[in-house]
Amino acid sequence: MSSPYFQQLATETRRARVNLCSQLNEQHRQLNEFSDAKVNLHEVTEFYRWGYLSDSSLVEANAAYAKASCKEFSERLLTLPRELRDMIYGQLWNRDPPPLGQMVWPNRAHTWQTRCSGPPCMCLEHLPHFIDLNFVGAQVAYEMLEALKRVAAKYIRDYTVNAGELQNFCTADVFHVGMTREEVLRRMDLTISMGQFVYGDEKTLEETQAILEEDIEEATGLLQQMPFEKPRAVTFNITHDHAKAVNLAQVLQSLQPTFEALRDKGFQMRLHYINHNLEIDWQLGSAVWDWSVEEWRTNMRKLGDLNVGFPLHVQDAQDPEKTLTEEQFKNQDPTWDIIARHLYGVNMDM
Ligand SMILES: [Zn+2]
Bigger pLDDT: 140 or 313? 140
- Measure 237 CA to ligand 1 centroid, in angstroms: 31
Confidence class for position 38, pLDDT limits 50, 70, 90:
very low
- Measure 49 CA to ligand 1 centroid, in angstroms: 15
Torsion of CA 121, 122, 124, 128, to 10 degrees: 110
What are the tens digits of pLDDT across the range 69-98? 888 889 988 999 999 999 889 888 888 778
Q: In sequence order, which residues have a C-beta less than 8 Å from that of residue 7 and are 6 or more positions away?
A: 1
- Measure 48 CA to ligand 1 centroid, in angstroms: 17
Confidence class for position 36, pLDDT limits 50, 70, 90:
very low
Average the pLDDT over 239-256 and give the result: 96
Q: Which residues of 181-196 are buried (b: 16+ CB within 10 A; e: fewer)?
A: bbebbbebbbbbbbbb
- Measure 217 CA to ligand 1 centroid, in angstroms: 29
- Measure 290 CA to ligand 1 centroid, in angstroms: 47
- Measure 121 CA to ligand 1 centroid, in angstroms: 5
What are the backbone dihedrals phi and psi of residue 348, each rounded to the nearest 5 degrees, phi first? -70, -10
Please determine, for residue 3, whether its predicted confidence score (pLDDT) is greater than 80: no
- Measure 300 CA to ligand 1 centroid, in angstroms: 49
* Peptide bond before residue 120 is cis, with ω within 30 degrees of 0: yes
Where exactly are the structural domains of the chain? Answer: 1-76, 78-157, 188-350
- Measure 206 CA to ligand 1 centroid, in angstroms: 39
Cβ proximity of 268 and 236 under 8 Å: no
- Measure 193 CA to ligand 1 centroid, in angstroms: 26
For all residues of the chain together, what is the average pLDDT?
Answer: 85
Beta partners for 236?
192, 271
Residues 189, 168: Cα–Cα separation, whole Å? 18
- Measure 177 CA to ligand 1 centroid, in angstroms: 10
Confidence class for position 146, pLDDT limits 50, 70, 90:
very high
- Measure 120 CA to ligand 1 centroid, in angstroms: 7
What are the tens digits of pLDDT across the range 251-262? 999 999 999 999
Question: What's the pLDDT score for residue 195?
Answer: 97
Residues 25, 73: Cα–Cα separation, whole Å? 12
Question: What's the pLDDT score for residue 315?
Answer: 44
* Helix (H/G/I), strand (E/B), else coil: 172: coil
Residues 65, 195: Cα–Cα separation, whole Å? 46
- Measure 334 CA to ligand 1 centroid, in angstroms: 48
What are the tens digits of pLDDT across the range 147-185? 999 998 888 889 999 999 999 999 999 999 999 999 999
- Measure 243 CA to ligand 1 centroid, in angstroms: 43
Please determine, for residue 45, whether its predicted confidence score (pLDDT) is greater than 60: no
Average the pLDDT over 257-279 and give the result: 96
- Measure 86 CA to ligand 1 centroid, in angstroms: 25
Question: What's the pLDDT score for residue 26?
Answer: 64
Please determine, for residue 21, whether its predicted confidence score (pLDDT) is greater than 90: no
Cβ proximity of 262 and 226 under 8 Å: yes
Average the pLDDT over 9-26 and give the result: 64
Please determine, for residue 54, whether its predicted confidence score (pLDDT) is greater than 70: no
Please determine, for residue 312, whether its predicted confidence score (pLDDT) is greater than 50: yes
